[in-house]
Amino acid sequence: MKVYTSDRSADTSAPERIKVGIADYAVAENDSTLVTSGLGSCVGIALVDAEAGVAGLAHAMLPSAGDAERADDARRDGTEAKYVDTAVPGLIESMTAAGADPSRIEARIAGGSAMFEFTAGDGGVGERNVGAAESVLAGHDIRIVGRDVGGDYGRSLRFEAATGELVIQRAHGETHTI
């Protein structure tokens, strides 16, 4: 997890671009841009408190760390962003530390594709990741204001901290903003 601010002593004329890796999350302020790529079955969870100018982006791989002991282990060993159910609370906590008000946070989610044929009755990883994101966000009273989920293609994301706009580039070339 990384927390960034826009308080830079170098050239501040260009917005800061912050890369969020797989099983990672980052928090940014003001005019920074959070980016991630390679979302297949993974889910991108973009949170913003627009009034505070604080945004966060998680790139979670799996829906759940499992039981409480494994969730605690994930938080301790720095792998909390790997799981939706530990990434979201960690991201909210980091955003709050950066000045966000949890009651004003809104969400956008993307990803959760069915990248591989899967025939088990409990659904594919992508579908379960989306369900976990919806459930965990609802549990924190965070409203999802935009989504681009499912399908059978990858996505790359660009999240603008200042506006809360999530720009989605689909692998087949289509780009849109939520």
* 9 has a pLDDT exceeding 50: no
42 is catalytic: yes
Of the candidates 18, 23, 34, 42, the residue annotated as catalytic is: 42
C-alpha–C-alpha distance, residues 165 and 122, integer Å:
32
Domains located in the chain, CATH noted: 15-177 (3.30.1330.200)
- pLDDT tens digits, residue range 42-55? 999 999 999 999 99
Spatial distance between the Cα atoms of 150 and 40, rounded to a whole number of angstroms: 9
Q: Please tell me the chain's helix, strand, coil percentages from 3-state DSSP, rounded to the nearest 5.
A: 25, 35, 40
168: left (phi over 0), alpha (psi -120 to 50) or beta: beta
Express each pLDDT in 103-134 by its tens digit.
999 999 999 999 766 555 567 899 999 999 99
Mean pLDDT rounded to a whole number for the chain? 88
Is the pLDDT reported for residue 81 higher than 80? Answer: yes
